[in-house]
């Protein structure tokens, strides 16, 4: 396993004034309501109703970014999806975030990465690394997944880990990370590896597309979708996904 270099090569501590939006020098809002290939229900906006900084005593520096999913008066949903495409991308090293995840039927928060060549090399050939996914009706179960050509969607290389004692990821912040090095990607929860993928783990005849690649970062809070299912009478709104920080450390093999 690699260990991260001592200082981040890129980071966002989300320590700007409460009520302000994500730093536009670091993040771009993905906008729209097209279902995003997963039959999701939300419209992603750039509104402060859906993404904003808050004071949070549980966050490292007392500030956190909130992605908020809201039910509209018309019965639809709005939320936020942020990406660093065109601002920052990385290859190898440790990519980590300290997060508090929401829960509820049909709620789907994620922290993930896509190949920054996606506009030239369409998904899944560009590669996708899902650092964190959670489906809200299983609030104590973390999913880490690798997608590439021939192993994508429901055939992605995934593994789960479960918090002990029936605990939920909505109850406290946890640190989620991947260590990415040539020929190997490891997923960590609170510093402990729970999933490893190498080229030897790929389905026969498929290609490892993660060496020499660069990926951009994404944060989003989806509502509904073919995988998590859809909100029901038990689902409370608004839902809040809190991000204490995102840090990227260069490789130190």
Q: Which of 13, 40, 128, 186 is catalytic?
A: 128
In percent, the amount of the chain with pLDDT more than 70 equals: 97
CATH number of the domain located at residue range(s) 8-249 in this protein = 2.60.120.200
Q: Are strands 8-12 and 239-249 parallel, antiparallel or unpaired?
A: antiparallel
Specify the pLDDT at position 1.
46
Task: Decide: helix, strand or coil at residue 199.
Answer: helix
Assess contact for 132 and 110: CB atoms under 8 A. yes
Specify the pLDDT at position 31.
98
186 among known catalytic residues: no
pLDDT at 82 over 60: yes
Summarize the confidence of residues 191-199 as an average pLDDT: 98
Question: Domain boundaries in the chain?
Answer: 8-249
Q: Of 52-56, 65-69, 218-222, 248-252, where does mean pLDDT reach its minimum? A: 248-252
Assess contact for 44 and 22: CB atoms under 8 A. no
pLDDT at 4 over 90: no
pLDDT at 106 over 70: yes
pLDDT-derived band at 232 (thresholds 50, 70, 90) equals: very high
Query: How many CB atoms are located within 10 Å of the residue 118 CB?
Result: 17
Convert the pLDDT of each residue in 150-172 to its tens digit. Answer: 999 999 999 999 999 999 999 99
Specify the pLDDT at position 251.
85
pLDDT-derived band at 45 (thresholds 50, 70, 90) equals: very high
pLDDT-derived band at 2 (thresholds 50, 70, 90) equals: very low
Specify the pLDDT at position 59.
98
Comparing 5 with 181, which gets the higher pLDDT? 181
CA atoms in the 13 A half-sphere facing the CB of 22: 32
Q: For the whole model, what pTM was predicted?
A: 0.96
Summarize the confidence of residues 27-34 as an average pLDDT: 96
58 among known catalytic residues: no
Convert the pLDDT of each residue in 124-148 to its tens digit. Answer: 999 999 999 999 999 999 999 999 9
Query: In 80-156, which ranges are E strands?
Result: 81-83, 93-100, 107-115, 128-133, 141-147
Q: Which of 13, 96, 133, 186 is catalytic?
A: 133
Count H helices and E strands in the chain, helices first: 0, 17
């Amino acid at each position: 396993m690699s260990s991260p270099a001592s200082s981040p090569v890129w980071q966002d501590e989300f320590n700007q004034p409460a009520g302000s939006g994500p730093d536009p020098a670091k993040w771009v809002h993905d906008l729209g309501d097209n279902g995003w290939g997963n039959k999701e229900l939300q419209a992603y906006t750039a509104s402060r109703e859906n993404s904003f900084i808050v004071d949070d005593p549980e966050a490292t520096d007392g500030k956190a970014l909130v992605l908020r999913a809201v039910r509209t008066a018309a019965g639809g949903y709005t939320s936020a999806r942020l990406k660093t495409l065109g601002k920052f991308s990385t290859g190898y090293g440790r990519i980590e975030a300290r997060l508090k995840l929401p829960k509820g039927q049909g709620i789907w928060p994620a922290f993930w990465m896509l190949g920054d060549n996606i506009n030239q090399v369409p998904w899944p050939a560009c590669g996708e690394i899902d650092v964190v996914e959670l489906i809200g009706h299983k609030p104590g179960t973390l999913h880490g997944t690798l997608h590439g050509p021939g192993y994508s969607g429901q055939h992605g290389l995934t593994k789960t880990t479960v918090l002990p004692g029936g605990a939920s990821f909505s109850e406290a912040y946890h640190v989620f990370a991947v260590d990415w090095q040539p020929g190997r990607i490891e997923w960590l929860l609170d510093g402990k590896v729970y999933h490893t993928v190498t080229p030897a783990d790929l389905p026969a005849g498929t290609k490892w597309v993660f060496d020499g690649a660069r990926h951009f970062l994404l944060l989003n809070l989806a509502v509904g979708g073919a995988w998590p299912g859809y909100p029901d009478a038990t689902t409370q709104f608004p839902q809040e996904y809190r991000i204490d920080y995102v840090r990227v450390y260069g490789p130190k093999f």
